Amino acid sequence: MYIMPKLDYNYDALEPYIGKETVYIHHTKHHQTYLDKLNKILDSINFNYSISIEKLLYNIEKIDPSIRQEVINYGGGFYNHNLYFKIMSPSNIKEPIGIIKEKINNDFGSYDKFKKKFIENATSVFGSGYTWLVLDEDKLKIINTKNQDSPLLMKLIPLFTIDVWEHAYYLDYQNKRMDYINNFFELINWEEVNKIYEEIKHNLQ
Ligand code: MN
């Protein structure tokens, strides 16, 4: 079965931007439930779990159509949350560093232009979904997805994401989703994003 990656920080580590109760419920209830349901549906087809969740979603067409939508929903719910929790941290590095800084400057003009576009995208998500920074071939793009759809399904390579489902922010921000989206930029772990940039293509092979 797939297993829950360990959180690299305590439940209260993202305060004051995201509260302890939000992180606790989001991780131990929402995230955990997606994982449990994914394992259950994959067990039902005697899946051998020999490939990563990234590879499973990237090659979704290989999954039997009778369970494919459930794998998209629960596998996406598992993977998307893995990435969301992985790329946040209480780090003091507040702006891009390393290769990702170069790529952002190159593909968006500047960090400020990138940030503005990302915030516009995230604000425009209607209903439940995510905004992503992805690699399309070698170019960075910002995209939105609905529900638990993952960019991996579209052969795009995710670098980081913000979860804009209400459960991600409602306890802390109620209807003020814009404040949550703005504060998310205080939490991005740019060292981790660089690491993902270096490693994810390799992980899909
Ligand atoms: Mn969520």
CATH code where residue 191 lies: 3.55.40.20
To which residue do tokens 């404040």 refer?
179
| Separation of alpha carbons 162 and 106, rounded Å | 22
Output the CA 104–ligand 1 centroid distance in Å.
26
Average pLDDT for residues 151-159, to the nearest whole number? Answer: 97
Domain holding 58, by residue range, is: 19-205
pLDDT of residue 91: 81
State the pTM of this model. 0.97
Q: pLDDT confidence of 200, banded at 50, 70, 90? A: confident
> With 80 as the cut, is the pLDDT of residue 202 above it?
no
> With 80 as the cut, is the pLDDT of residue 141 above it?
yes
Output the CA 9–ligand 1 centroid distance in Å.
17
Amino acid in position 94: K
> With 90 as the cut, is the pLDDT of residue 113 above it?
yes
User: Would 134 be classed as within a structural domain?
Assistant: yes
Near ion ligand 1, which residues have CB within 5 Å?
Answer: 30, 163, 165
Output the CA 94–ligand 1 centroid distance in Å.
23
Query: Which residue from 9, 5, 169 is spatially nearest to 89, judged by alpha carbons?
Result: 9
| Separation of alpha carbons 94 and 166, rounded Å | 25
User: Would 9 be classed as within a structural domain?
Assistant: no
| Segment 55-105, tens digit of pLDDT | 999 999 999 999 999 999 999 999 999 999 999 999 888 899 999 999 999
Output the CA 125–ligand 1 centroid distance in Å.
14
pLDDT of residue 194: 96
> With 80 as the cut, is the pLDDT of residue 205 above it?
no
Domain count for the chain, please give it: 1
| Separation of alpha carbons 53 and 61, rounded Å | 14
Output the CA 30–ligand 1 centroid distance in Å.
6
